[in-house]
Structure 1
Amino acid sequence: MNVLITNIAISEYTGTETYVKELAIELVNRGHLVEIFTLRMGNLSKELIEKGINVTSNLKKLKLIPDIIHAHHNITALKAISFFKFTPVVYFIHDRTFIFDHPYIHKNILRYVAVDYNCKERYCLENNFKEEDVEIVYNWVNTDRFRLKENINKQPKKALVFSNYLNDNNIYPQIKEACKELGVEVEIIGYSSGNICLQPEKILNEYDLVFAKAKAAIEAMATGAAVIVCDFRGLGGMVTSSNMKHFRDFNFGMKLMTNIPTKNNLIVEINKYDFCDTIKVSEYIIKESNFLSVVSQLEEIYSDVIIDFKNQIRGKYNSPFFQYIFIYKCIIVNLTKLRLKSKFLKLYAFLKYCLKK
């Protein structure tokens, strides 16, 4: 099948951008034709183009008419649906608060998908979707990249902060203090800290303990690291065999971060390290979040939606004009706020660019 994936940016190796990269490559490996529409291109776009996958910020430069649109982000979904008026859509939400993850509704969208129950609440609690109309497709881990290490230390010796958001200006100092007090060496990778690592799978097995959230947390667990869920939003705590199902339901993310990441609270979580329990968590995540199984699940969704659309089935949620106004109104409001803060000039320019596309 011909698959068009939309994402607001295919520029850096973060969040949904990495998700799109892995999905696109695997779909091509399975014989599908894949193209990507985005509003911002960069290094990741170049990498995918070199692999033969067409990535463009101009819908007129797409080479194929898609059989299905896998849509991330309302602004790119809106543009793609307006351009391909007779193509069915599966719409995904990966974030509870991001403005561009606000649900976009249209008669061509036959499936609404959330990456966890927190995002499902955005559909149902905030936007009046019925529970049965939103399905969960969990985040995955590619075990061809993130492999379980052979030996797991009985006590943590090295820790890694694996986050694009943490740095010396938020909670990294508290993490360093907690680790220092317990004699654990700690390092950090991610965009915000300036220590970018494009192939984390090559270094994760060096660490016993990882501070991370969402997909990064899943990848760390798959390598045999004990994971403490945390971010600048708060502290979720150590993932254990007793809470791992609940933590996965909420994508090891913000919904779980109910504690304050003080040094003392972090020490409490680090002291929960149990190498036997870590093995159980790793085995669980490898089995339940298998990349190939999730892609197969997506293929089934695509096929079902294509068939339903051909049978004249249309989405029950349909208010494109008002949604169009809402989305652009939100962008304009954010532009106004950002314009007052000169330190956000780059983001301001990007949002302004979105309006023009």
Structure 2
Amino acid sequence: MNILITNITISEYTGTETYVKELAIELINRGNLVEIFALIMGDLSQELIEKGINVTSNLKQLKLIPDIIHAHHNINTLKVINFFKFTPVVFFIHDRTSVFDHPLKHKNILKYVAVDYNCKERYFLENNFKEEDIEIVYNWVNTDRFSLKKQINKQLKKALVFSNYLNENNVYPQIKEACKELGVEVEIIGYSSGNICLQPEKILHKYDLVFAKAKAAIEAMATGAAVIVCDFRGLGGMVTTSNMKHFRDFNFGMKLMKNIPTKNNLIAEINKYNSGDTIKVSEYIIKESNFILAVSHLEEIYSTVITDFKNQIKGKYKSSFLQYIFIYRYTMVNLTKFRVKSRFPKLYAFLIFYFKKK
């Protein structure tokens, strides 16, 4: 298959960007031809280009006519659909609140996918889709990278904050205070904290407990770490055998973060650490979030959509002029912010500081 993947950015090593990287490499390993279209490019784009994958922000520089478009984000998906007018699309939502994940309606989109029930609700509760028309394809973990460590410590000693969003200005100070009171050493990695780690799989084995959400949480669990779902949005709590299925249904994400991450609330969750329970959670996530099976399922979806499109089947949710206006109006401001941040980081930092003062 010729597969075109879209993403708003292929620049940093964040959620959907690493998702695209892993997916593209595995699809190519299976004999498919893959290209990537992004509106903003950066370090990750260059890495993929060096691996021989065509990543471009110019549709005219694509080398293949795709059989299928695996689409993330509305504004760039709209550009691709208008360029490849006779190619079917599978549209994915990874985020409940992002303007870029507002679902796009178009006759060429034959399949709509969400990564969890929270994103599925965005389709049918907020945008008048029928619930039965939305399929969930959960986030995966690549166990070739994130392998289970040989021993899980009975005594909690070291913790890690594994997040691109937590830092000294939001929840990290409370986490440090809670860990200090319990005699637990804690460190942090991620873009927002300035401690960037491009290969977390090489260090996660050092930690007994990880504070994370979504894909990062899944990756940490696969290595044998206990996980507390936590972010600037709030505190979800320790993943245990009693709640792991429910937490997975909502992608270990924002829908679960109902508590305030105060020091005392964090201490209560940290005290739930149990090495026996942790290994059961890890075994569950390794089995249920299998990367190879997930990509095989995506290939099946692609093949079905391609066949249906050839048989003149069209998507039931049609586009409208009002939809175009809505998407352009609410995405262009955010896209401009992305571009300024990417190309002029010092200017972006100054503007953020200036307007916060105002």
Q: Same fold (TM over 0.5)?
A: yes
In structure 2, the residue corresponding to 1:40 is in which secondary structure?
strand
Which residue does the alignment assign to 2:342?
A: none
In structure 1, the residue corresponding to 2:69 is in which secondary structure?
strand
Which residue does the alignment assign to 2:133?
A: 133
In structure 1, the residue corresponding to 2:148 is in which secondary structure?
coil
In structure 2, the residue corresponding to 1:12 is in which secondary structure?
coil
Which residue does the alignment assign to 1:187?
A: 187
Q: Matched residues in 1 for 2:152 and 2:205: separation?
A: 9
Question: For residue 281 of structure 1, what is the amino acid of its counterpart?
Answer: V
Residues 51/337 of structure 1: CA separation in 2 closer, same or farther (3 Å cut): closer
In structure 2, the residue corresponding to 1:3 is in which secondary structure?
strand
In structure 2, the residue corresponding to 1:153 is in which secondary structure?
coil
Runs (5+) with no aligned partner, structure 1: 350-357
Q: Deviation string for 1:21-56 (max 9, x for gaps)?
A: 000000000000000000011110011011110000
Residues 331/278 of structure 1: CA separation in 2 closer, same or farther (3 Å cut): same
Which residue does the alignment assign to 1:152?
A: 152
Residues 88/175 of structure 1: CA separation in 2 closer, same or farther (3 Å cut): same
Q: Matched residues in 2 for 1:292 and 1:131: separation?
A: 27
Which residue does the alignment assign to 1:284?
A: 284
Using the TM superposition, give the Cα deviation of residue 329 of structure 1 relative to its aligned residue in structure 2, in angstroms. 1.3
Q: Matched residues in 1 for 2:170 and 2:128: separation?
A: 35
Q: Matched residues in 2 for 1:131 and 1:8: separation?
A: 26
Using the TM superposition, give the Cα deviation of residue 332 of structure 1 relative to its aligned residue in structure 2, in angstroms. 4.8
In structure 1, the residue corresponding to 2:111 is in which secondary structure?
strand
Q: Matched residues in 1 for 2:191 and 2:267: separation?
A: 25
Equivalent residues of 1:140, 1:215 under 8 A apart:
yes
Question: For residue 140 of structure 2, what is the amino acid of its counterpart?
Answer: W
Using the TM superposition, give the Cα deviation of residue 348 of structure 1 relative to its aligned residue in structure 2, in angstroms. 12
Question: For residue 4 of structure 2, what is the amino acid of its counterpart?
Answer: L
Q: Matched residues in 2 for 1:335 and 1:80: separation?
A: 16
Equivalent residues of 2:93, 2:114 under 8 A apart:
yes
Equivalent residues of 1:335, 1:348 under 8 A apart:
no
Which residue does the alignment assign to 1:352?
A: none
Alignment partner of 1:243 is 2:243:
yes
Question: For residue 3 of structure 1, what is the amino acid of its counterpart?
Answer: I
Question: For residue 123 of structure 2, what is the amino acid of its counterpart?
Answer: Y
Equivalent residues of 2:159, 2:208 under 8 A apart:
yes
Question: For residue 19 of structure 1, what is the amino acid of its counterpart?
Answer: Y
Equivalent residues of 1:189, 1:195 under 8 A apart:
yes
Which residue does the alignment assign to 1:231?
A: 231
Using the TM superposition, give the Cα deviation of residue 334 of structure 1 relative to its aligned residue in structure 2, in angstroms. 5.2
Using the TM superposition, give the Cα deviation of residue 322 of structure 1 relative to its aligned residue in structure 2, in angstroms. 2.2
Using the TM superposition, give the Cα deviation of residue 101 of structure 1 relative to its aligned residue in structure 2, in angstroms. 0.4
Equivalent residues of 2:75, 2:331 under 8 A apart:
no
The number of residues matched between the two structures is: 346
Using the TM superposition, give the Cα deviation of residue 320 of structure 1 relative to its aligned residue in structure 2, in angstroms. 3.9
Q: How does 1:48-63 map to 2 (within 5 A)?
A: 48-63=48-63
Q: Matched residues in 1 for 2:67 and 2:303: separation?
A: 9
Using the TM superposition, give the Cα deviation of residue 209 of structure 1 relative to its aligned residue in structure 2, in angstroms. 0.2
Alignment partner of 1:118 is 2:157:
no
Using the TM superposition, give the Cα deviation of residue 344 of structure 1 relative to its aligned residue in structure 2, in angstroms. 9.9
Equivalent residues of 2:107, 2:315 under 8 A apart:
yes
Which residue does the alignment assign to 1:354?
A: none
Using the TM superposition, give the Cα deviation of residue 336 of structure 1 relative to its aligned residue in structure 2, in angstroms. 10
Q: Matched residues in 2 for 1:199 and 1:115: separation?
A: 23
Alignment partner of 1:16 is 2:16:
yes
TM-score by length of structure 1 reads 0.94
Alignment partner of 1:305 is 2:305:
yes
Q: What is the Cα-based RMSD across aligned positions, in Å?
A: 1.9
Q: Deviation string for 1:236-265 (max 9, x for gaps)?
A: 000000100000000000000000000000
Using the TM superposition, give the Cα deviation of residue 321 of structure 1 relative to its aligned residue in structure 2, in angstroms. 2.5
Using the TM superposition, give the Cα deviation of residue 335 of structure 1 relative to its aligned residue in structure 2, in angstroms. 7.8
Alignment partner of 1:79 is 2:79:
yes
Using the TM superposition, give the Cα deviation of residue 293 of structure 1 relative to its aligned residue in structure 2, in angstroms. 0.5
